Amino acid sequence: MRSFSIFALLILLLSGCGSADDGRVKVRIWHQKIGAERAFFEDAIAAYNAAHTDRVVEILYRENEELRNLFITASVGGQGPELVFGPSDNVSIFALTESIRPITDVLPDSFLASFNEDGIVQWEGTPWFVADQVGNHLTYVYNKALMPSPPTTMDSLITILKQVQARDEVRYGLTWNYTEPFFFIPFLTCSGGWVMDEQGNPTLDNEATVRAIQFVLDLRDKHQLIPAQSDYNVAETLFKDQLAASIINGPWSWAGYSDAGVDYGLARIPRMDASSDWCAPVISAKGYAVNVNVNDEKLSYVHDLLVYLTGPEMQTRMAEEIATIPVIDAVRNAEVVQQNPVLQASLRQVEVGRPMPTAPQMRQIWDGMRGPYQLVMSGTISAEEGARRMQEEVEKRIADTFL
Amino acid sequence: MSEKTRFRLFLLFLLGPTIVLVLAVVAYPFFYNVVLSLSNMNIYHIRDWEVIGLQQYAAVAREPAFWSVFLKTIIWTGVNIVFHVGLGVFLAVLLHQKFIRGKSAWRVLLILPWALPQYITALTWRGMFTAEYGAIDIVWRQYLSLPAIEWLTQPGPAFAAAILTNIWLGFPFMMVIALGGLQSIPAELYEAADVDGASEWKKFWNITVPLLRPVMIPAITLGIVWTFNNINVVWLVSNGGEPNDQTHILVSYVYEAAFTMYRFGWAAALSMIIFFILFAFTQVLLKRTKATEAAY
Amino acid sequence: MNASSFDSKRFLGRLGSYMVLLVFALIAVYPVTRILTISLRPGDRLLSTSLALFPDDATLENYRVLLFETPFLRWLFNSILVSLVVTVTGVAFASTAGYALSRFKFAGKGAMLSGLLVTQMFPATMLLLPLYVVLINLQLLNSYLGIIIIYTATALPFCVWQMKGYYDTIPYALEEAARIDGCTPWQAFYKVIFPLAAPALVITALFSFMTAWNEYVVANVVLQDTNLFTLPLGLKLFQGSLTTQWGLYAAGALLVSIPVVLLFLVLSRYLISGLTLGAVKG
C-alpha cells in the first residue's frame, strides 16, 4: 500500500502546479509568429515585463488553425487569452462567434488615425483588429547564380526559363506548391479573375479561371518548365538544392533560402502579356484582436500593451530587424524602410497585391478550390472541368455551413 | 459483517476507481453530444443554438459522399486489422521460438514504430512517398525499374499509402500483446504434441490459436474500434484528404465539419452515427466470441 | 539418413526464422533512420534525393539547439512525471478491476465490460469541446491533474480488458489453494495472482505510459503555459502552418523515443516471465 500513499502525495503536488498568483495583473497573448519574428516578439515581451512590476504578459504560440479553433472554444467557454494575434482572415469568424470585441473599445481614434487602410481590419462596418504588419504575400524568388535578372512578363519568363533549364544542373525553371489554392491566386488575378463578388458569392466558373488553369497546365505540359508533381516541401527542397531556378513563395520562407546557401533575389510575380495585369498574390494584415471576455478593469492594461506592440516605434523596429512591412504610413516612408532592399522588393509586390477578403465565405472558397486545384495539377481533369468543379464545391460548402 | 457484504465491499474496492474515473471523463461529454446532434449549432449559432430535432441526422444521410466514405472506412479498418493481427501474431510466434538468440534486441527493434510519436513517423512516411525525393519512389523507379506511381496525387495510391503507413505503425502493438499471451501457454502442451508427431502448423492452430484467443480478442475488438476512429494517420499522410478529399474516412469528416466548417450539430450527428455503427458491430462480435462471459 | 534430413530441415527452418525477423526489423527501422538523417541535416530540409544514412554535411547542431536553447529538458521532465503517474494509476486500477471482472459473478458485469468498450467508440475530437467546459468548471485547466485524469480514463478500458483476458488464462485452482492456506481474498489476489500476471501488467504499464507519452490533442487544449508543456506539445512549437523546423522536429522525435525504448527494455524482462503456470496446470 505504500505506493498508493506516495501516489496520493504526488496528486496533491500536481494539483498545486500552475497557479503562480503573485498579485500581478496577467495579460495573455496567443500568437502564431514563427522563426525570427517569434524570437523578436519574445524579446519585446521580456523587455515589457522587465519595465513593469505590476503586470506580467504571457505568450503562447499556436499553429494558425489550432489557434483559431482553440480561441473560439475558449472564448465561448468564457475563458481564453486577452489578446489573440493572427492573420486578418480570422476576423469575421471571431466576430460571428462573438469571440472578440471591437478594437475601438480599447484603442482611441487618435491612436488609430495614424494607421493606413491595411492596418485596421473591419467587418460589417466595425473595426475589430489592429495590425502590426501587412504581408503573407507570395513573391517571385529566383536563384541569382542561375538567372541574373528576373523576368517581368510571363512571355519573357517562359523564354528565360527555357534558357536556364537548358543547363544540365537545372531540372526545373520554376516550382511552387500544387496543393494549396493560395498559390494559384496570382495566376487567377492576372487572367482577369477573382474568387468572389462583392456579396461574397464565388465567381470561379468562368473564362478567366479556365485561362488561368490552362496557363499553368501549359507551363507544365507544353513548356515543361515546372515539375509534374509538387507540394510545399518538394518545391522548397527543389529550390534549396538549386535544382529549380525559381520558386513562388512568401516572406516566411526567405530566410531559409539563405541558410541553405542560395543567393536569392526577390521580384514581382510577372505580369500577363495579354492583359498587362500583374499576377497579384493575396496579401493580408497580421495583428491583434481583443477577447470578448476581457473585463473593464483589465482593459487599460490591454490598451497599454497594444499601444506598445503596434505603435510606430515597434513597427519601425520590426521593419528594421525582421523586415516586416509597416502599416503606419509615416513609418513606411521613413528612411529605414526606404533604404532596405528586401523591404523594398517586398513592398513592390505588396503594392500590386489583392487584400484578403474578410468575408467568412473565404474559408469555404479555399476549401472548395483545394480539391479541384489538386486534380487539375495532377492532370486528372481539364481546365474547364476544374473551373466548374471549383464553383460547385464552394457553393456546396457555403450552403452546408447554414446547417 | 456478513460474508455477502464483505464480498460486495471487496468488489467495490476493486471496481470502484475505474468506474468513477471512466464515467467522470466520458459521461457528461457524451450526453452533451447527444443534445448537440439534435441542435442547429454552427458558426451562425454558436452561442444561441437550439434543439431542432433530427434534421442533422437527415442531413448526414443526404450527404452524397457518406456511403463512399463509409465504404473506405470499412476497407481501411479491415485491411489494417488483418495485417496488424496477422503480422503481430506471426512475429510473436517467430520470436517466441526457443532457439532465437538476442530476443530482447529483436523485440526492441520491432517495437520502434510504436515508440516514436505518430506525428513524426506519419510525416516521414509521407516524405518517403513523395515524387522526386521519396525513398519509396526512388527505389521503385530506379532500383526496381517499375513504372512510376503517383503515390500522393492519385486517390487509390494515396489511400494505399495511408494504409501502408498505418500497418507499419500498428503491428508492434499486436505483437507485444501476442508475446504476452504466448507466455501463458504451457510448454508441456507443445512437448506432448511433439510426442504425437504433430506438425508445426497443427500445433499453431490447435494449441497457440485457441490459447491466445482470450488475450487477443479484447485487443482485436478495441483495435477495430481505434482503427475505425483513427484520424491522425490518414490526415497526416494524405495531408487532410488529398487529393480532392478522396482519402477521407468517417472521422476525418467529423473533424473537418467541426473544426474547419464549425458545423457542430452536423458533426455531432455524424459522431453519433459512427458510435451506433461501432456499437452494433462490437455487440455482434462479443456475442460470437463470448468475450464478456466468465472463463470460470 | 533420416536424422540428417531432419537436421537440415531444422537448420533451414531456423535460418528462415532469422531471415524473416531480419526483414521485418529492417522495415521497422528504416523510416527511423530517415528521421535520423533529417535530424543530422543542416538547413531544415525534409527531403533529399540521397538515400545515405549520414548526409555529407552532417551536424549535431539540431541536437545542441534542442537541448540547450529550448526548454526541451523541462518538457521531458513534465512528460516523465505525467506519464509515470498515469502508468502507476493505470496499473493499479486495471489490475484490480480486471481481476473482479475475470473472477466473480455479479449483476451488471457484462454491461460493465461492454460499457468500457463503448467509451472508445465515440470520435475523440468531438469530446473535446464539452470536456473543455467541464475542466473550466472544475478549475482543472492548466493543471496536470486534469490531463492525468483524462489519460488514465482513456487508457483504462483497454487495460482492464487486457488484464481480464490474461487472468482468464490463470487457473482458479491457484486461489483456491491460497484460500485453503488461510489467505483472505485480497491476499489471494495480491500475493498469488498479481505476480503471475506480470506479462499482462507489463503490457498495461507500457500502454498507459504510451497513452500519456505521445498524446497531443487533449494536452493542447488543457495546458496553456509553455512551462507546463509535455513533449509532444513542445515539439509542435517548431511547426508552423507552412514552415517547419524539420531538423529540430526530427531530433526531438528521436530523443522522445529513447525513454520508451529504455522502458521497454526494462519491462520486457517481465514480459517473458510466464513462470510456473504450466507446472500448476499439469
Residue A187 has a pLDDT of 96
Percent of chain A exceeding pLDDT 70 equals 95
Q: Mutate which of C242, C246, C248 to test chain A, going by most A C-beta atoms within 10 A?
A: C242
State yes or no: pLDDT of A33 exceeds 50. yes
In the block, which residue shows the cell 487495460? Answer: C159
State yes or no: pLDDT of A158 exceeds 80. yes
What would the 3-class secondary structure string for A372-397 be?
A: HHHHHHCCCCCHHHHHHHHHHHHHHH
User: For residue A186, what is its C-alpha cell?
Assistant: 496570382
Neighbours of chain C (3+ CB pairs under 8 A): A, B
State yes or no: pLDDT of C181 exceeds 60. yes
**A56 and A73 share one domain:** yes
Please report which helix (H) or strand (E) contains residue A67, including its range. Answer: helix A64-76
Domain-embedded: residue A232: yes
d(CA B64, CA B60) in angstroms, rounded, equals 9
pTM tops 0.90: no
Nearest-CA distance from C135 to chain B in Å? 10
Neighbours of chain B (3+ CB pairs under 8 A): A, C
State yes or no: pLDDT of C228 exceeds 90. no
**A197 and A54 share one domain:** no
Residue range C116-129: mean pLDDT, rounded: 82
Domain count, chain A: 2
Amino acid at A226: I
Compare CB distances from B43 to A97, A227, A228 and report the shortest one's residue: A97
Residue range A201-226: mean pLDDT, rounded: 94
Residue A249 has a pLDDT of 95
Of residues A207 and B188, more confidently modeled = A207
**A218 and A173 share one domain:** yes
CB contact A9 to C (< 8 Å): no
Compare CB distances from A378 to B127, B133, B243 and report the shortest one's residue: B243
Confidence of residue A48 (pLDDT cuts 50, 70, 90): very high
Domain-embedded: residue A62: yes
d(CA A183, CA A253) in angstroms, rounded, equals 14
d(CA B289, CA B214) in angstroms, rounded, equals 9
Helix and strand numbers (H, E) in chain C are 14, 0
Q: What residues in C contact A14, CB-CB < 8 Å?
A: 81, 85, 143-145, 148
d(CA A142, CA A248) in angstroms, rounded, equals 9
Q: What residues in A contact B55, CB-CB < 8 Å?
A: 403
Check CB contact under 8 Å for B150 and A76: no
**A254 and A388 share one domain:** yes
State yes or no: pLDDT of B119 exceeds 80. no
Percent of chain A exceeding pLDDT 90 equals 65
d(CA C230, CA C75) in angstroms, rounded, equals 5
Nearest-CA distance from B120 to chain C in Å? 7
- Mark A332-369 as b/e (b = at least 16 C-beta within 10 Å): bebeebeeeeebebbbebbebbbebbbbbbbbbbbbbb
**A162 and A235 share one domain:** yes
**A344 and A248 share one domain:** no
Domain-embedded: residue A227: yes
Domain-embedded: residue A338: yes
d(CA A300, CA A354) in angstroms, rounded, equals 35
- Which class does domain C72-244+271-281 fall in? mainly alpha
Residue B182 has a pLDDT of 87
**Of A353-357, B56-60, B143-147, C121-125, where does mean pLDDT reach its minimum?**
B143-147
**A63 and A145 share one domain:** no
Give me the interface pTM, i.e. the ipTM: 0.83
Q: Mutate which of B5, B14, B235, B281 to test chain C, going by most C C-beta atoms within 10 A?
A: B14
* Per-residue pLDDT tens digits for B91-101: 999 988 888 88
User: For residue C215, what is its C-alpha cell?
Assistant: 498524446
Nearest residue in C to A255, CA atom: C43
Check CB contact under 8 Å for C38 and B124: yes
Confidence of residue C5 (pLDDT cuts 50, 70, 90): low
In the block, which residue shows the cell 458491430? Answer: B281
Domain-embedded: residue A1: no
d(CA A135, CA A349) in angstroms, rounded, equals 10
Percent of chain C exceeding pLDDT 90 equals 14
d(CA C2, CA B68) in angstroms, rounded, equals 58
Axis-axis angle for helices B155-182, C144-168 (nearest 10): 60
State yes or no: pLDDT of A104 exceeds 80. yes
* Per-residue pLDDT tens digits for A327-336: 999 999 998 8
**A128 and A274 share one domain:** no
Nearest alpha carbon to residue C239 among A233, A27, A258, A181 = A233
Helices (DSSP H) in chain B: which residue ranges? 3-37, 55-62, 66-96, 103-115, 118-129, 135-138, 155-182, 187-195, 200-203, 209-228, 231-237, 250-259, 264-289
Give the CATH number of the domain where residue A203 resides. Answer: 3.40.190.10
State yes or no: pLDDT of A263 exceeds 90. yes
- Domain ranges for chain B, please list them: 33-289
d(CA B120, CA B169) in angstroms, rounded, equals 11
Residue-range definition of the domain harbouring residue A107: 20-135+284-351
Check CB contact under 8 Å for C162 and B13: no
Nearest-CA distance from C183 to chain B in Å? 14
**CA dihedral over B64, B70, B73, B74, signed as positive or negative:** negative
Check CB contact under 8 Å for B112 and C126: no
Domain-embedded: residue A230: yes
State yes or no: pLDDT of A192 exceeds 80. yes
- Which class does domain B33-289 fall in? mainly alpha
Amino acid at B248: H
State yes or no: pLDDT of C56 exceeds 80. no
Residue A194 has a pLDDT of 94
Domain-embedded: residue A2: no
Domain-embedded: residue A12: no
Residue A21 has a pLDDT of 57
- Mark C139-163 as b/e (b = at least 16 C-beta within 10 Å): ebbbbbbbbbbbbbbbbbbbbbbbb
Check CB contact under 8 Å for C45 and A252: no
Q: Are strands A264-267 and A172-175 parallel, antiparallel or unpaired?
A: unpaired
**Of A48-57, B72-81, C240-249, where does mean pLDDT reach its minimum?**
C240-249
Nearest-CA distance from A34 to chain C in Å? 7
Nearest residue in A to B256, CA atom: A367
Q: What residues in A contact B40, CB-CB < 8 Å?
A: 403
Nearest residue in C to A64, CA atom: C241
**A121 and A156 share one domain:** no
**A304 and A254 share one domain:** no
Which residues 281-300 of chain A have a CB within 8 Å of chain C?
Answer: none
Q: What residues in B contact C235, CB-CB < 8 Å?
A: 117, 119-120
Beta carbon pairs, A and B, within 8 Å = 88
Q: Which long-range contacts (CB under 8 A, 24 or more apart) does A332-341 make?
A: A332/A116
* Per-residue pLDDT tens digits for A274-324: 888 999 999 999 999 999 999 888 999 999 999 999 999 999 999 998 889
Whether the CB-CB separation of C65 and C180 falls below 8 Å is answered with no
Q: Mutate which of B14, B42, B46 to test chain A, going by most A C-beta atoms within 10 A?
A: B46
